[in-house]
Amino acid sequence: MSFIDVGQGDSVLVQAGGESYLIDAGRAEEGPNIVDFIRDRGVRDLDGIVVSNPDADHIGGFLDVFDAFPIRTVYLSGDPKGTLTYNTFLRAARDEGSDTEVLRAGMLMDWGGVQADVVAPPTDAEGGLFSETNDNSVGILLTHGAARVLLAGDAEAKSEEYMANGPYTGPLTVLKVTHHGSNTSSTPLFLGRFRPEIAVIQVGADNSYGHPTPETLERLRRSGAKVFRNDEDGDVTVTIKDAEVEVAVTRP
């Protein structure tokens, strides 16, 4: 998994068993950098892309990705947010001719031999989507042997509570810290139920939101997680093979 440095935004490349998946693509200006990064990893086509939520800092770069790679499946959160950026993205997905699928908790996918459980957002039978777009972020739990990785976009307290009370709790090898390390995420309940070994914060240097907040960093410290962050470490790549976990960064 490569947590690509896209400034104040999200973009994660997952490669497993000869398949490649891109979860989010930062802001529009990051598109060319993301394309170069993916190509440098030897990827020539994408088995799937995931829109964890429809905000511009998660989907802007996808237009360049559509131009650069064949994409088999586009996975969506199904949040009804109708911004110009999101509508443009949906038109591009249609023009690409990719299959589209809305993800809900309980769905299961196979990503190159890695089990990918959808753990959020809730199903209609569970009350349906939350009122806030961030809380409707797609959450995907990747399981490879004993290793577990949770990627959950901009989930805030309501979504974190939902996931923490679900059937997928337990120690994580890697957590992509939700919502860029804001103080409305990484709640004590969530961190207590998932207990991450490694936490990666996708965040831009000197951002106007104050992310990650001191409160969140302290909660992560208390949880025992080793923290990596794009603004300090550049691209963060986590390689899991058998029982070995290696972390590489692009800044010394």
Q: What averages of pLDDT result for each successive group of 10 residues across the chain (252 residues)? A: 98 98 98 98 98 96 97 95 90 92 98 98 96 97 97 98 97 98 98 98 97 98 98 98 94 83
Assigned fold of 2-249: Metallo-beta-lactamase; Chain A (3.60.15)
According to DSSP, the residues that pair with 15 across neighbouring strands are: 20
Q: Cα separation of 179 and 193, whole Å?
A: 18
| Residue that has been written with the tokens 């890697």 in this structure | 174
Length of the chain (residues): 252
8 Å CB contact between 136 and 171: no
> Would you state the structure tokens that stand for residue 24, as one six-digit string?
């989010």
The pLDDT, as a whole number, for residue 82 is: 80
Separation of alpha carbons 72 and 46, rounded Å:
7
pTM assigned to the model: 0.97
What is the pairing mode between strands 2-3 and 196-201? Answer: unpaired
Report the DSSP beta bridge partners of residue 240.
245
Alpha-carbon distance 115 to 84, whole Å? 34
Cα gap 149→174, rounded to integer Å: 5
Predicted confidence at residue 3, as pLDDT, reads 98
Is 251 in contact with 225 (CB distance < 8 Å)?
no
Residue 195, C-beta contacts closer than 8 angstroms, at least 6 positions apart? 170, 171, 172, 223, 224
d(CA 162, CA 174): 19
pLDDT (0 to 100) of residue 2: 98
Q: Which of 68, 29, 71 is nearest to 51 (CA)?
A: 71
Residue 217's CB is within 10 A of a number of other CB atoms, namely: 17
Range list of β-strands (E), the chain: 2-3, 12-16, 19-23, 46-50, 71-76, 99-102, 108-111, 114-120, 139-144, 147-151, 172-176, 196-201, 226-229, 236-241, 244-249
Across the strands, what pairs with 238? 247
- Characterize the bridge pairing of strands 12-16 and 2-3: antiparallel
- Buried/exposed 159-171: b ≥16 CB within 10 Å, e otherwise: bbbbbbebebbee
- Which one, of 89, 177, 77, lies nearest residue 128 by Cα? 77
pLDDT of residue 113: 97
